[in-house]
Amino acid sequence: MTSMLPRRPESEQARSLVRSIVVTLESIAGPDQIWKRGVVHRGGPHYRLRGLIGPVSIGEDECLMLGTLIGRFRPAHCFVIGNGFGLSSAFIAKMMEANGGLSVTTLDSKVEGDGERCFDTAETLRVRMACRILRNEHGVSPHDVERTAGGLSYDLIFIDGDHAHPQPTLDFHGVQHLLAPSGILLWHDYWLAGVAESVTEARRNGYCCVKVNSSCEMVFGARDDSVFRDIEALFEDAVTPRPRRHPWARFMLSRSFLWATLSSHLKSRTRH
């Protein structure tokens, strides 16, 4: 884990929005906060619904990164694979709406954790946060991509569904034709092997990719050279993604669940 956080351009608007979403989510579902100092790099915290091993949200630091990206590129349409309980999609939708965005569409299979509970939480969060441009859909990638995409050309596509190979690569092939020529692809959890495989496949298909050392590592990909250069300039810790195995990945995920469960149990006993 790195010893210090790199400086990144962040707006007070983005910070305030993250806080508002987390507070609203707490009023809906009382989620557990985990990885308070980050996972692979310093950052976080992340959240998950109480009692579930997954899904786990992106980190608050990663929301701020997305806010920086959205403020710079002002995407009109965004497509998200893997929505969990809706923290990242609510943030993206509100930031895009504030920057002239028109639509955010999510596609989630409901297979991780308690899928119905997660989907219902995401829907409640969407309503409570008044996410006017957000639409949450149930389906499987890549089979249901065309049905939910609605024939739009997307400026931002976020791949954050099943992280096990080959699913992230299937997701990439399922959505890349939807990406506008100057659009941006985004992967979360590059530290996991299946996601790294997907990024490698994208590079084979002509995408320039750059990794930013957020809590769980995010990778941005673009086919337009000027867009790619602008992304590189946006984050001072941007580097070329290099595949490598993280031998502690499964252990870290399991440990976080066990620790959060134990902490919750101890707090419950203390209250009683």
Question: Quick one: pLDDT at residue 258?
Answer: 59
Asked whether 36 and 44 are in contact (CB, 8 A), the reply is yes
pLDDT tens track for 199-214? 999 999 999 999 999 9
Reported confidence tier of residue 61, pLDDT bands at 50, 70, 90:
very high
Q: Is the pLDDT of residue 6 over 80?
A: no
pLDDT tens track for 112-136? 999 999 999 999 999 999 999 999 9
Percent of the chain with pLDDT over 70: 86
8-state DSSP, 151: T
Question: Quick one: pLDDT at residue 243?
Answer: 74
Question: Quick one: pLDDT at residue 254?
Answer: 54
What's the mean per-residue pLDDT of the chain?
Answer: 90
pLDDT tens track for 79-118? 999 999 999 999 999 999 999 999 999 999 999 999 999 9
Domain coordinates in residue numbering, the chain: 12-254
Q: Which CATH number fits domain 12-254: 3.30.830.10, 3.40.50.2000, 3.40.50.2300, 3.40.50.150?
A: 3.40.50.150
Question: In the structure, how many helices (H) and strands (E) does the chain have?
Answer: 9, 9
Asked whether 88 and 57 are in contact (CB, 8 A), the reply is yes
* Among 178, 83, 169, 176, CA closest to 134: 83
CA dihedral 224, 226, 230, 236 (to 10 degrees): 90
Question: Quick one: pLDDT at residue 179?
Answer: 98
